[in-house]
Chains A and B, each alone.
Chain A
Amino acid sequence: MADVAMSGPAALSGRKMRNGVRGIFAAVLLSLLFIQPHHARADEDAFAGLATTQFNTIASSVDQIAQQGGPRALPVLRALADRKLFAAREGDGLFIRTDSGWADARSGASASPDEETLRPVRVNNRVRLAVAAAEAELELVSGTPAERQASANVFYQRHDPAMLPAIDKALSKTDDAALKDTLLNARAAALLSPGAPASDAQAQQQAVAKLKAAGGLDARGVLAQASTSEALDPATRKAAEAAVSSIDFKLKLWGFGQDAFYGLSLGSVLLLAAMGLAITFGVMGVINMAHGELMMIGAYTTWLTQKAVLSVVPALGSFSLILAIPAAFLVCGALGIVIERGLIRFLYGRPLETLLATWGLSLILQQVIRSLFGPTNVAVVTPPWLSGSFHLGGIEVTIDRLAIMIFAGVVMAGLMLVLRRTPLGLEMRAVTQNRRMAALMGIRTARVDALTFGLGSGIAGLAGVAVSQIDNVSPNLGQSYIIDSFLVVVFGGVGNLWGTLAAAATLGVGGKALEPLVGAVSGKILLLVLVILYIQRHPRGMFPLRGRGVES
């Protein structure tokens, strides 16, 4: 290492020369003076490519670094991926930004370069791909079990024949069954990819069989490509084609399950959005056009809670969502009570005036939020524990959607409990069924009205919390849900929560079943037409309320 250290300042003095030719001449002279051991020189060359501004040079430098390995390879590549690797504007100095300052990329020793002379090393998707592959190559040998499995997955997805030696090496070293299986898939995929070393028909067909057994989209991609590849044996191509259609068939079957999941997930969002309206419109009969805006305010409350938690206890930032649930319920519930006392109670029994007044209110609320927080979207961060997805057989389950489904179920159950098992719920049902009689029994109907409207509004706030995770939080948020909410409540049967549940699920699954067949736009139109036809035959919706109280 001593000679490397000596070449540092010498190279620097060459760098400072204005005249390029003289600089090169000096550098040649210097390299003649300090002849270095061959391996060290090669190592430095691999890093030097990173200091250029050409993406393809940087990418091939990354490949070279991965092949040479060495203790500095992984830290440098990770710094590159995180945009913490900087190059000197002149010369080939490379530095990593650390928490405490700077480190020399090649040696890892702390350094103090002049920050003015540095620029970040450029990264694009091509470089990122090269870094991911290089990291996988290095971690496959030295990583933790989880890292190794992730690396094997990268190998499988990349299926680059140049990685075959690395795959074989890793295969010989591991006993872990899952890892071995992924590596074997990766090996099969690489063998069938363009540029693979010539192999006999038997080996090729074994590879096809392996990928066919593996199934999934990754295998399908490799096999589809192999079925048209001139480099492969004709019999292999045929086998690959058959394997593709077999995988397609399986994917199609799983696709039904996947569509059902998507449908239920959409249904759960619809259910959340409609549940509050099922109370205010369904139970109380108030046409509340500002319902969507209450959701929007619930979403903004989520955002404010998140901001507040992040600024007070940053460590708990990822759990702010849980705190946002009661916050949104209380804020929207209180706002609902204010709206009922201040506006709606003067309009009972006058549906047209209520419609106009609440519509005006919705515009006012939108503009208030726009003036307070600006017209642009605000960023509600999805916490790590809600991100990503997992596989259930061939069905991909996204965690945020699953959480919303569970949340919708919990809110529904809670609402049922309140309506059926609490004095407030009893009073609510009494007042909506026969207001005069309830009043005569000593129920304060005005108070019950306010609380009922508050409950419905609070639930709209809860829907806002859920929606903030999948949609954009802007003053317009409510508008995109109000129509769907009314549709669900009317379709399900006004005043019946089970009907709302059934309608949300039907519309969700129906919409998602139609979408792959006829496209999103026509699917939506078709669904609306079907609902209109249904409502014409059954004006009271799917689950109409029956009994004496209904007509009044």
Chain B
Amino acid sequence: MSPRFSRRDFTKFSLAASAAMLAGVKGAAAAAPKGEPIRIGVLHSLSGTMAISETTLKDVILMLVELQNRKGGVLGRPLEAVVVDPASNWPLFAEKARQLLAVDKVASVFGCWTSVSRKSVLPVFEELNGILFYPVQYEGQECSRNVFYTGAAPNQQAIPAVDYLLSADGGGAKRFALIGTDYVYPRTTNQILQNYLKSKGIADADIMVNYTPFGQSDWQTIVSQLKAFGSAGKKTAVVSTINGDANVPFYKELGAQGISATDIPVMAFSVGEEELAGMDTKPLVGQLAAWNYFESIDSPANKSFIKEWHDYTKNPKRTTNDPMEASYIGFNLWVQAVEKVGSTDHDKVIDAMVGLKQPNLTGGTAQVLPNHHITKPVYIGEIQDDGQFNVVWQTPKEVPGMAWSPYVPETKNLIGDWTKSVSCGNYDTVKKACLGAKHG
């Protein structure tokens, strides 16, 4: 795996050997890739607090590399994944990114989960002109030429989710508690949501905002505050941007204090199939999550993806989740772009990306937009007692991702457009000017 040991001769030899094996086993499969391997970087934490979420994404990329090599590689050359471990340590992310770009000379990088890790690697990618595929839903308000955001922007997750809660099907909520972990994603998302709710006629007194530290494990006070907040005679809903680990004790406390989804529904933006795997979901039935993908969605592409995943991990119970789909889309878009320009040259690939289309796993199409975000369908799922989500609502068609929120006064006129005519990450449509270097 490590590039330093892969001498050219050895690579050639092992490739020839594996090609021979493939030819023997697979018979008339696609032509085996040959030549100098194309390196891609995988920048996900394999240890520390974020390992729980990010290890899976590393496995997905490795699986996709294996599948692509079986199909003949890219440009007839094999792909080689360079895996590094930034260990949930934000400055280390920047160091490892620099190593991938400057030492390993990777053609593209798939990585990061938390926004703070992305912010930490952003200057490195801009300085060394790398390509980063970022596969997680995030708070928006960023648009870099060197990053492709294949996860959801706020208008592809948070806003539709709140729309659902406001609708009759979602219970017609009139009072909102926005609770989250104290860091950049929940704070930015909640700022956008507060402005959005006000624009929908929700009074200030009917919005409660609460932040907790990372890894909060004692939710007694906050859950009882939610209960009290919900007893104002108006239908109340909770919008949760609680991060990863803290969700289990939060939901356990909800169950212990007897709050069910029919009393006060909780709409979560960071709870997926992986997080539910560690929970007894019987007390949670009916609690909500908004994503662009659910494992339970019945489509041929999803079925075959799940099957490949189970075969690859040799675990028929491994769940799939939204960021995995985003990684899948990002990887395939990059392969398309490289095949299109016939080179892994960063500038050529970046310019070729906009407009590319890739079928997503739920039967729709992801198209790369000029602002380096993609189109995504939005689904609202209810938790079932088997740990899966049941889709109860979805957008009629894919929603194009918006880098800058129209509900934040400072950014309401901004757009990102990296096509030749504009080529700017924060173009002010009123002043008709590019605000320049600062993209996040």
Among candidates A217, A220, A377, A381, residue contacting B52 with C-beta atoms closer than 8 Å:
A377
B52 adjacent to A379 (CB under 8 Å):
no
Q: Does B249 contact A (CB under 8 A)?
A: yes
Interface contact A375-B221, CB-CB below 8 Å? no
Decide: B169 and A124 in contact? CB cutoff 8 A.
Answer: yes
A35-68 near B? 1/0 per residue, CB < 8 Å? 0000000000000000000011000000000000
Cβ contact within 8 Å between A126 and B171: yes
Q: Pick the residue among B52, B169, B216, B384 that contacts A476 (CB under 8 A).
A: B52
Q: Residue B233 at the A interface, CB < 8 A?
A: yes
What is the number of contacts between chain A and chain B, taking CB atoms within 8 Å? 166
| B23 at the binding interface (Cβ < 8 Å) | no
Contact between A377 and B275, CB atoms less than 8 A apart: yes
Q: With A and B bound together, what is the CA distance between A512 and B211 in angstroms?
A: 15
Q: Does B341 contact A (CB under 8 A)?
A: no
Q: Which residues of B contact A367 (CB under 8 A)?
A: 47
* Cross-interface CB contact of A516 among B55, B56, B170, B221, cutoff 8 Å: B221
Shortest C-beta distance, A519 to chain B (Å), equals 7
Cα A367 to Cα B85 in complex, Å, equals 13
Binds B, one of A25-33, A221-229, A535-543: A221-229
A520-B211 contact given A56-B168, A126-B171, A220-B231, CB 8 Å threshold: yes
- B252 with A396: CB separation less than 8 A: no
- Chain B residues, Cβ within 8 Å of A224: 231-233
A379 touches which one: B210, B280, B283 (CB < 8 A)? B280
Closest Cβ of chain A: how far from B392's Cβ, in Å? 4
The answer to whether A370 and B169 touch across the interface, beta carbons within 8 angstroms, is: no
Within 149-177 of B, Cβ neighbours of A (below 8 Å) are at: 168-171
Which of chain A's residues have a CB closer than 8 A to the CB of B343? Answer: none
Chain B residues closer than 8 Å to A56, beta-carbon distance: 168-169
Q: C-beta contact mask, B222-257 vs A, less than 8 Å → 1, else 0?
A: 101101101111100000000001011100110111
A470 pairs with B171, CB closer than 8 A: no
Q: Which residues of B contact A381 (CB under 8 A)?
A: 280
A367 vs B84: C-alpha distance in the bound complex, in angstroms?
16
**B residues less than 8 Å from A126 (CB atoms):** 168-169, 171
| Nearest CB of B to A504, in Å | 13
Segment among B25-33, B89-97, B258-266 that sits at the interface with chain A: B258-266
B234 surroundings in chain A (CB, below 8 A): 225
**A401 partner residues in chain B, CB cutoff 8 A:** 220, 256
Contacts of A363 in B (CB 8 A): 47
A243 contacts chain B at the CB level, 8 A cutoff: no
Question: Which residues of chain A have C-beta atoms less than 8 A from B304's C-beta?
Answer: none
Q: Give complex CA distance A129, B56 in Å.
A: 37
How far apart sit A228 and B280, CA to CA, in the bound complex (Å)?
A: 40
**B222 partner residues in chain A, CB cutoff 8 A:** 515, 520
Task: Assess whether A221 is in contact with B213, with CB atoms less than 8 Å apart.
Answer: no
* Cβ of B157 to closest chain A Cβ, rounded Å: 19
Residue interface bits B181-222, CB-to-A below 8 A is 1, else 0: 010000000000000000000000000001111011110111
Report the separation of the CA atoms of residues A479 and B385 in the bound assembly, to the nearest whole angstrom.
30
* Contact call A396/B257, Cβ cutoff below 8 A: yes
Contact of B228 among A55, A217, A388, A476 (CB under 8 A): A217
A132-B261 Cα distance, complex, nearest whole Å:
12
> B52, A474: Cβ atoms under 8 Å?
yes
CB distance from A337 to the nearest CB of B (A): 27
- The verdict on A118 contacting chain B, using a C-beta distance below 8 Å, is no
Q: Is B395 an interface residue (CB 8 A)?
A: no
Complex interface bits, A364-407 against B, C-beta within 8 A gives 1, otherwise 0: 00110010000111110110000111000000101111000000
Across the interface, A222 reaches (CB within 8 A) one of B233, B258, B285, namely: B233
In the complex, B396 has a CB within 8 A of chain A: no
Cβ proximity bits A139-161 to B, threshold 8 Å, 1 near / 0 not: 00000000000000000010000
Could you name 5 residue pairs across A and B whose Cβ atoms are closer than 8 Å? A124-B169, A126-B171, A128-B285, A377-B248, A388-B258
Instruction: Please give the residue numbers on chain A whose beta carbons come within 8 Å of chain B beta carbons, in ascending order.
Output: 55-56, 83, 122-126, 128-129, 132, 157, 217-218, 220-226, 228, 251, 258-259, 262, 265-266, 269, 363, 366-367, 370, 375-379, 381-382, 387-389, 396, 398-401, 469-476, 479-480, 512, 515-516, 519-521, 524
Q: Which residues of B approach A to under 8 Å, CB–CB?
A: 47-49, 51-52, 55-56, 168-171, 182, 210-213, 215-218, 220-222, 224-225, 227-228, 230-234, 245, 247-249, 252-253, 255-258, 261-263, 265, 274-275, 277-280, 283, 285-286, 288, 382, 384-385, 390, 392
Q: Top 4 A-B pairs ranked by shortest CB distance?
A: A377-B278, A225-B233, A472-B248, A217-B231
User: Besides A157-B263, A398-B256, A472-B245, 18 other CB < 8 A contacts?
Assistant: A125-B261, A128-B261, A128-B262, A220-B231, A258-B224, A367-B47, A375-B52, A376-B56, A376-B277, A388-B258, A396-B224, A398-B253, A471-B248, A475-B52, A479-B49, A480-B217, A515-B222, A520-B212
